[in-house]
Structure 1
């Protein structure tokens, strides 16, 4: 097998295998730290995540899912190599278990600098915040049922009670509360309806992908300067999430180099273009 190694070119500690040889079973899509990663469990994973037959999923989506699948295997193999206690980790490795392993292996993400936060807050403070509407809804099966709901509301029936009896929104029992929406953040046909209403008014039934909506506007906040406390909180959240993503990406890249990842692209049923593939 050593005379075939020239076919396998390294990339940052990873290897993309360009042959079906090298003595590897064709049911293997990769080896990670010397352990074989089989194709069938990955196909099952693709079907579970997408809700479709794995054969029907596009190459672009399948490539992205293979990245995620291999990331998990890299983290697990790195944990084994570092003698992390895996007794409580299930074979399916749910999100909370993956996060626990990442915390163990990668440590906390760095904090964004106060200078970066201050600069971004200053920039956003100069923007005008769009009008916002506080909305609740009824989600109904038909236009006729929407008209029935409106008739009951027009004679003074309680919105929450009508919601409990007629609506099939996930939170119908609580009155269909949706919270605040910025003007322009919703699909145009819904945005136009909502922002044409005054507080307390109801919309006519509006058809959407899930059924017919009757909206009530509870409050409208006109456009104006943003609330600085909200701006700062939002900036801190966005920056923190970005730092975590980048930290995890760097960490997994380092772990992949540490344990060694070898992809057998000729064993795959799709053209793989993910992160573990060599850039052209």
Structure 2
């Protein structure tokens, strides 16, 4: 059966799309501007094109994380500023740069064409193929033990007196949280804005995702328990263990869409390679002038 690639998230724009974005003309006046620095802009159309280039999972995570999305826009703005500076100095007219641009353009055309003729059939994979891939990849589809944790965070920076005060504040908050509404206290007093807005909820995390100080406490807690303040380099964390999910094989229904997308990507990647191999085979054994090749090798030594 077809080997399935390991699951991965594509979190950055592909090299081809990045080049296309950098070489694109400046935004027209009618386009909505998302970010501006001097004469350099990032338009709504550019940002939407980038987001649509991502797989669905990465796209949803990025649009849900506004600070990260802002950093992406800022990086794009910086890239365009560098491009504008290079163009102002005639960099695009340098022969070696023009040659690289032609090569990049040819590569994008080739990749786009190969992708267009290598599309997986609409019905692929079938239910039977999905089940077979699921059965063959159970190790990769086994989720680790995870912990649903909420926190109240008290920052601790400065001298010993400031840290001591932060510790006492955290101890008092832990005491209140054990007898009161943890979520309400976290929303009102926690100094970590993102989780505070959700009543302290930090979501589900595995042991591997926790810093050692947090991990050593969480793994020994009972559901519903509130910890003593835990010191980390940034401050003190008062934790509440909300739920525990034991390690286990994720059901097919849960991973069906992700597995299907991965199988289709693998199918299309294999089809691209098969097309290239077919073109190589069609050349025959005499396509390369060995004497000319030896001359090239000698000239670059």
TM-score, normalising length from structure 1? Answer: 0.48
- Structure richer in helix, relative to its length: 2
TM-score, normalising length from structure 2? Answer: 0.45
